[in-house]
Amino acid sequence: MSEHGMTSDDVQINGPSQESSTPPPAVPTSRRPSRNEVAQWARFALPALLVVLIVVFSILAPQTFATFGNATTILSTQSVLALLALSALCTLVVGQFDLSLGAQLGLAQVILPGVLSRQEVDLVVGILVAVACTTLVGLLNGLLVAKLKLDSFIVTLGVATILSAVVLWYTDSQTIFQNVPASLVEISTTELWGIPMPIIYLAILTVIVWLVLERTAFGRRMEAVGGSQNAARLSGIDTDRVTVIAFMMGGALAGMAGVLQSSQVGSGNPALGPEFLLPAFAAAFLGATSFRVGRFNVWGTIIAVLTVATGVAGLNLLGVPQWVNPLFNGTALLVAVTATRFLRGAGTTT
């Protein structure tokens, strides 16, 4: 027995002291944000980047960048690309790719000056002919994909190659500029309240596409088909019909982009068209990271076009070489595809 009359066995039986039985204080741990929370912040990232670019370049080049003339020039020159991006959007919404859109743009921009100078038709008739041709190409693509169940990537790549050959045959590999009426150029040079008409055309068509995709039953069917064709078919949606019409919509918009392109250059150049394809898809994918995160949407696509164009224009005004343009587009596409894959479905995943 110890001095206090307690053995070591008594201590073990009585158990630990009150101090040792008190649980240690909880250590706060950092919580990783959920994908849904990331998506909520991501929807504002692209518009914020556009604002930052405008502010930065306005400070660095106030005499050249921060002017109304430069703003309208950027918007006007990017109207063709924006229209083609909306064209790509139509097929992406239904889960398909149309790699012939650049070639369709090229087809329309040689057909219009061609029929105006060779057949001497009215300007409105020429525009209708050009847009009708690309709409028919969209119909062909849609039938091959929807009815024959061919892969849209391969089919439209083959159609693009055929269209390139048709353009070379139609133009004899020469730019069409002789006997082209001045009314063609006036499509782009005319202004309304000081605003170039290409900006107004783009605004009108953007609102129309937005209304179709967001405010009509057909637009909801398009998104349902893009989400899951099997589920859409089981719910009673004619997926083949929706897919064909989506390709036709894309073709019509590509034709309008071609009309605008030919009016801006005043001729039909057989080399123009395909180079618009990559930037158009880059804008559509980049736009899917904004507003309706993880989903292809109209306003995100337009903001994406303006963001890339603003960055390229600002750097060019600062004397950066021309290779920055393709570098911007390629980088934007890689970043956009990666971000879209991560954010798709973020609204339902926590």
Domain boundaries of the chain, sorted by first residue: 65-273
Residue partners of 255: CB distance under 8 A and separation at least 6: 104, 105, 107, 108, 130, 131, 132, 133, 134, 135
CB atoms within 10 A of CB 278: 15
Chain centroid offset of residue 60 CA: 29
pLDDT tens for the chain, 350 residues: list them. Answer: 444 444 444 444 444 444 445 555 555 555 565 556 655 666 777 888 888 889 988 998 888 888 888 888 889 989 999 999 999 999 999 999 999 999 999 999 999 999 998 888 899 999 999 999 999 999 999 999 999 999 999 999 999 999 999 999 999 999 998 888 888 999 988 888 888 999 999 999 999 999 999 999 999 999 999 988 899 999 999 999 999 999 999 999 999 999 999 999 989 899 999 989 988 998 998 888 877 777 889 999 999 999 888 888 888 888 877 777 777 767 776 776 777 666 655 544 33
Segment holding 85, helix H or strand E: helix 79-93
Please name the amino acid found at residue 186: E
- Mean pLDDT rounded to a whole number for the chain: 85
Q: What does the alpha-carbon distance between residue 303 and residue 292 come to, in Å, rounded to a whole number?
A: 12
Residue count of the chain, please give it: 350
3 state SS for 86-100: HHHHHHHHCCCCCCC
Angle, in degrees to the nearest 10, between helices 197-215 and 182-189: 70
Q: What does the alpha-carbon distance between residue 349 and residue 35 come to, in Å, rounded to a whole number?
A: 6
